[in-house]
Amino acid sequence: MKSVEQYRNQKVLVLGLAKSGVNAARLLHKLGAFVTVNDKKDFDNNPDAQELLSEGIKVITGGHPLSLLDEDFKVVVKNPGIPYSNPIVSGAIKKHIPVITEVELASQILEGELIGVTGTNGKTTTTTLITMMLNQRADAGKAYVAGNIGVPASAVAQKAQKRDTMVTELSSFMLCGIDQLHPHIAVITNIYSTHLDWHGNRANYVKAKMRITMNQTADDYFVINWDSQEWRELSQQSKAQVVPFSRQGNSKAGAYEEAGKLYFKDEYIMDAKDIKIPGDHNVENALAAIVVAKLQGVSTKGIVQVLKTFSGVRHRTQYVETYEGRQFYNDSKATNLVSTEMALKGFDQPVVLLAGGLDRGNTFEKMAPALKDHVKTLIVFGETAQKVADAGKLAGIQDIEFTENCETAVPIAWKRSDPGDIIILSPACASWDQYPNFEVRGDRYIKAIEKLTGKAEEN
């Protein structure tokens, strides 16, 4: 990693733990900073805080005392999910203390190349595909996934060498806290409307996403979906070389689909139907990855090898198993209605859909056409159960059932399904009303499937 001196003997506050906070604290401590960690969870139930304290890092838990702002911190590194309305954060900004997120810190020490991927949907799949494709190169360094994909960027940046590449999934929350982060290639898969409760309005959300390209120059590349007039116009804000991808064939200057075939510029890559993971949205993800791979010198053979064999990211339209003719899929990462719509459109078979979760105040009428075209049975749970059911009724679905959670939904889905059906958890909502995160929700769903099929007893 790069040797940086800007934090040595400086007081730094790490606000909020989880993976990013723990790794940021350890890195700053390694860089010679006087680190204070502040987390709202009480100390006795906070193993991360206990470990950091044992490593010589100052820890304050059980709340966010405003008195911390009297400590003369030079920088605040905040957990991406903590809003800027938080009194500590807003107070730091009023005192002109820089507030950054862990990915900014990671970018400062990274010796290798940075590729950044953001968007409303498809970030994780695209990040994974790019990394797998780059690792097809025999004469290049290693590519690592990092960021919002669940791997702290600060941990990866410490081990990446000059020849290596850090392919980083960047959420809008992370991007709000960057300053100098500079991806050589920046990718925007798409921009819809989500997290508006956090950002306040769509304009702020779009502005946050576009921060991915704010430090790019004419020597860099900005890869963006060309299938929306809005996204095409947004590309004009970038100083980088714009390389489009289009499933609808709106541009042939990058990667595109035409008559069921995928191309990069004039070069045929493969047939779209041969991509292993289903759905038009995954064709878009593949096209975005193809652009990056080609810019980085990956062979067509290497690209095709990945797209024909990659079976999907865990919790993102993840194939679980087939049992007595029913195919089970785990799409727990679908935390907004657009993600669920895309998942449904990836199947031609009748679908039994398991949906519901945290109520953020929105309704689900816009999902009705996709429900009407694909869903035979709708099983709802969580805070939004009634709202999702209302959308199902609007779509004309006759078979709708309420249940407690995604686990209790599994045996119900089994009873209501027939051989040849798809059973999919694709909640269209965040998980926080019932589960700590979407990963736990997806894992519990898989456990329920294992119980149903008898596999749980075998383990």
- Please report, in range form, the residues annotated as the binding site: 119-125
Identify whether the C-beta of residue 283 lies closer than 8 Å to the C-beta of residue 275. Answer: yes
Neighbours of 22 (CB within 10 A): 23
- Phi (first) and psi of residue 186, to 5 degrees: -115, 135
β-strand partners of 268: 263
Q: Collapsing DSSP states into helix, strand and coil, what is residue 447? A: helix
Distance CA 194, CA 96 (A): 29
H or E element that contains 61 = strand 58-61
Q: Summarize the annotated binding site for ATP as residue ranges.
A: 119-125
Q: Contact at 8 Å (CB) between 9 and 29? A: no
Cα 355 to Cα 375: distance, rounded to the nearest angstrom: 11
Give the Cα separation of 305 and 300 in Å (integer).
Answer: 9
CA distance 222 to 244: 8
> Half-sphere exposure of 205 toward its Cβ, with a 13 Å CA cutoff?
15
What is d(CA 407, CA 449) in angstroms, rounded to the nearest whole number? 8
E strand residue ranges, 313-427: 318-323, 326-330, 351-355, 375-380, 399-402, 422-425
Tokens in use for 176? 């709000």
Structure tokens at 423: 């059973």
Cβ atoms within 10 Å of 74's Cβ, excluding its own: 15
Q: Please report, for residues 16, 29, 57, 74, 359, the alpha-carbon distance to residue 33 in angstroms, rounded to integers and kept in the order given.
A: 17, 5, 10, 10, 40
- Are the beta carbons of 239 and 218 closer than 8 angstroms? yes
- 72: amino acid identity, one letter: D
Task: Enumerate the β-bridge partners of residue 400.
Answer: 378
AA letter at 199 = H
Question: Are 144 and 156 contacting, i.e. CB atoms less than 8 angstroms apart?
Answer: yes
Q: How far apart are CA 388 and CA 316, in angstroms?
A: 20
Strand order in the sheet with 318-323: 318-323, 326-330, 422-425, 351-355, 375-380, 399-402
